[in-house]
Every structure is written in C-alpha cells, then in structure tokens.
Structure 1
C-alpha cells in the first residue's frame, strides 16, 4: 500500500516532532516535511506536493488561513486540515472557506487525527467531535431560549398595545406626541428583543400572548 505523504506546519518544534513520531509509527503515513513558519510551509508544499497538509492557524509571517489559500493554488491536489488550539466553530468555518477540507483541535486524539486524514484524503470533509459538539449545544441553546419579554420597556409595551389595536406608526406617533422615527426605533427594538422577523410575526406573537402585555 502506498503511504499517504504528510506535511506538518506548526510553529512549535515539540508538536511537530510529536506528530511526526506518531504519524510515522503508522504504516499508512509518511511525514515528508516539517515547517515552523507559514512561508516555509507554502514552499515545501509546492516542492513536495504532499497528499495531506496539517496546518496550524497561528503561524508567522502570515496566518495559517493565508498559507492555506496559497497552498491550494500552488499544490491543488494537497488536502489541508486545519489544526488549532481554538475550539470556536468560527475558526473551523473560516478554514473551510479558504480551502481546507478538515479541522481538528489540539485536544483531538491520535485516533481522530488518523480518521481526519483518511476521510479528507478520500475527498470528504471532516470536523472533529469537539467542534461538532459545541455547534450542537449552541443550536440547542438557541432553540430552547425564550423571547426576552421582560426586557421590554414600559414605552415598548405601550407601543405593542397600540399595534395590537391596529394603529399605524403614524397614529401611534400622533397619540404619544413623539416623532415617527422614534416609533420606528421602538418597533425595531421590540422585534430584536422578542427575536421576531417582522410586524406580522409580532402581531402573531401578541395574539398568542393573551393579556400578558395589557
């Protein structure tokens, strides 16, 4: 079986040496180059044309994001996996946007690193379990979070009741003796606090709220 060739780009020598040892201990892999800076990583990728590049995000003299973009142009067949201490999903998303097809954190196990390499080499995208779990929790939190009714001001509740009666923004402004623009600002803030998209959604919310806002 032909070994998958791997380039390791990380600014910490100990990490590079550790990864090299672990990967070379597996008969499926061969580390063909190690780089401590982004410029060398790009040059070595162009020279070696590895199957896989393990790219740290925090690199010099430019970031791993920029290095990934450059490598994708110079060695398009190389598959890039972002590797970072950052577990925020935004980093993984950005890495994929610039051309990587995988992302693992430095908390990932050896087995998960191996899995990522194999999956990415096959042409699949791979996001480590740590990132996927964070995304899942965020989605559940957003789903379970209730509209922040209690954050409404007395004026905002007053305006909601006028909307409930069917009054227009101009009619509300005339009644309260405030400017039309002020009413629109209040309406915008109400929608934002209640996490509603538009007036129709607000009216539906009001109808389902019963007498709470009276």
Structure 2
C-alpha cells in the first residue's frame, strides 16, 4: 500500500521531530519534509507535492493562514490541516474558509491527529473534538433563549456545525457516512426543535452564531 506523504510545518523543532518520529514509525505514512519557516513550507510543498500538510498557523515570516493560501496555489492537490494552540472556533473557521481541510489543536491526542490525517486524505473535512465542543457551547450559550435548544442530540449539533462550515446536505452525508435522507430527517428535526420555519431560517440561525465568533 502506498504511504501517505506528509509535510510538517511548525516553528517548534521538538514538535516537528516528535511528529516525524510518530508518523515515520507508522506504515501508513512517510514524512517527506519538515520545516520551521512558513515560506520554506510553501517551497517544499511546491517541490515535494505532499498529500498532507500539517500547518501550524502561528508561523514566520508569514502566517500559517497566508502560507496555506500560497500552498493551495502551488500544490492544489495537497490537503492542509491547520495545527494550533488556539481552540477558538474562529481560527478553525478561517482556515477552512481559505482552503484547509482540517483543524486540530495541540491539545489533541496522537490518535486524533492520525484520524484527522486519514479523514482528510480520504476526502473528508475534520475538526477536532475540542473545537466541536467549543462550537456546541457557543451555539447553546448564544441561543439559550431558543426553545428546546437543549433537546438537540449530539448528532444534530454535529450537523449544525457542518452546516456552519458551509457543507451541503450531500457533503454532510459523506462526512458522517450516512445517507442523504438521514441528513434531511435530522435537519427537519432540528427545525422542529428550534421552532424554525424552514432551511433558510436555520442558515440564518447558524450565521447569527457565526458572526459572534
């Protein structure tokens, strides 16, 4: 089986070396390059064409956000996962908006990082549990006056999070490995519980939460 090629861009040498060691000792991966300079990361992505880029958002001389945008141009097939100490949903949202496929905080476990790589390599988006929990808390906090918001199931909150990311029902079905019909049933139940009239009202509800970030 062909190994998944990975580029690690992080300005902390110990983190780079640790992840290189972990991934190179897993038969599914091979680290083709690592660097602590964001402009060098762009050049390495251009020459190495890695399948996965682990991009620390706090980089120099340009930010990980800017480096991500540049890598998307020079190596469009590379799928980027944002890595950060920041657990605020706004950072994850920005990374996804500029083309990253995942976001994992540095509080995440080794297992979750590997899951993120596998999911993103498989064509899915991945947001780590810490960010998902924070988004869910924002949804509940900002809308605690909405009837029955506490009645939302974990799956329904998950779907709300994916809608917030801009995913269509079809993309949500693929992300969660469920049928399109099941997604539509969940959306219907969400509308009913939140006492919203239609899908447009749901999108507006989610956007109102997003603007608070």
Q: Give the aligned partner of residue 87 of structure 1.
A: 87
SS in structure 1 at match of 2:143: helix
2:11 is the alignment partner of 1:21: no
CA drift of 1:138 comes to 1.1
- Tell me the distance in 2 between the aligned counterparts of 1:121 and 1:92: 18
Off by >6 Å, runs of 4+ in structure 1 = none
- Tell me the distance in 2 between the aligned counterparts of 1:84 and 1:23: 18
Q: CA RMSD in A?
A: 0.9
1:93-133 Cα shifts (integer Å, max 9, x gaps): 00011110000000001111011001101111100000000
- Tell me the distance in 2 between the aligned counterparts of 1:108 and 1:3: 23
Q: Give the aligned partner of residue 160 of structure 2.
A: none
2:60 is the alignment partner of 1:38: no
How many equivalent pairs are there? 146
Q: Give the aligned partner of residue 48 of structure 2.
A: 48
CA drift of 1:145 comes to 4.4
2:121 is the alignment partner of 1:121: yes
- Tell me the distance in 2 between the aligned counterparts of 1:117 and 1:23: 10
- Tell me the distance in 1 between the aligned counterparts of 2:123 and 2:88: 24
- Tell me the distance in 2 between the aligned counterparts of 1:113 and 1:60: 23
SS in structure 1 at match of 2:61: coil
- Tell me the distance in 2 between the aligned counterparts of 1:83 and 1:145: 34
- Tell me the distance in 2 between the aligned counterparts of 1:141 and 1:70: 36
Q: Give the aligned partner of residue 194 of structure 2.
A: none
2:28 is the alignment partner of 1:11: no
Q: Give the aligned partner of residue 196 of structure 1.
A: none
- Tell me the distance in 2 between the aligned counterparts of 1:105 and 1:86: 6
- Tell me the distance in 1 between the aligned counterparts of 2:137 and 2:60: 33
CA drift of 1:80 comes to 0.2
- Tell me the distance in 1 between the aligned counterparts of 2:137 and 2:84: 20
Residue correspondence of structure 1 range 144-163 to structure 2 within 5 A: 144-145=144-145
Q: Give the aligned partner of residue 112 of structure 1.
A: 112
Unaligned segments of structure 2, at least 5 residues: 147-213
CA drift of 1:143 comes to 2.2
Give me the TM-score of the superposition, normalised by structure 2. 0.67
- Tell me the distance in 2 between the aligned counterparts of 1:36 and 1:142: 38
Residue correspondence of structure 1 range 164-183 to structure 2 within 5 A: none
Computing the radius of gyration over CA atoms, which structure comes out larger, 1 or 2?
1
- Tell me the distance in 2 between the aligned counterparts of 1:118 and 1:24: 15
